[in-house]
Amino acid sequence: GENVEQHPSTLSVQEGDSAVIKCTYSDSASNYFPWYKQELGKGPQLIIDIRSNVGEKKDQRIAVTLNKTAKHFSLHITETQPEDSAVYFCAAINNQGGKLIFGQGTELSVKP
């Protein structure tokens, strides 16, 4: 089955700096890769996603890149702000009958 590894487990950056979180997956059939943000005391919420036919996707300050050959994808946050502080989860799924498999999570701390 699918296995998703996520690094780093914790990340601390200064406000205004960029943050990068990386994930690798094992199942080459996986074709959809969402990223979820979990704020303290809340459930995870989808923030951006990418499909296997696309190499990069941007939404304002966040972007996701996908390298199918290497089977890894990354979340990039530019101009970080204190409100970006949260736990971020990557996930992968083969949407033809597979289950969404989550990475271990990255706790991002943005220091003012």
The residues binding other proteins (CB under 8 A) are 4, 6, 9, 32, 34, 36, 41-46, 49, 89, 93, 95-96, 98-100, 102-105
- Alpha carbons 70 and 4: distance in angstroms, whole number: 13
Question: Which tokens sit at 15?
Answer: 């406000």
- Strands (DSSP E) contained in 1-112 are 4-7, 10-14, 19-25, 32-38, 45-51, 56-59, 62-67, 72-77, 86-92, 101-102, 106-111
Least separation, in Å, of the C-beta of 29 and other proteins?
A: 14
Closer residue to other proteins (CB): 87 or 110: 87
Closer residue to other proteins (CB): 8 or 16: 8
Least separation, in Å, of the C-beta of 14 and other proteins?
A: 25
- Alpha carbons 29 and 54: distance in angstroms, whole number: 15
Closer residue to other proteins (CB): 12 or 104: 104
Closer residue to other proteins (CB): 9 or 28: 9
Least separation, in Å, of the C-beta of 57 and other proteins?
A: 14
Question: Which tokens sit at 16?
Answer: 């205004």
Least separation, in Å, of the C-beta of 41 and other proteins?
A: 7
Largest Cα span, the chain: 44
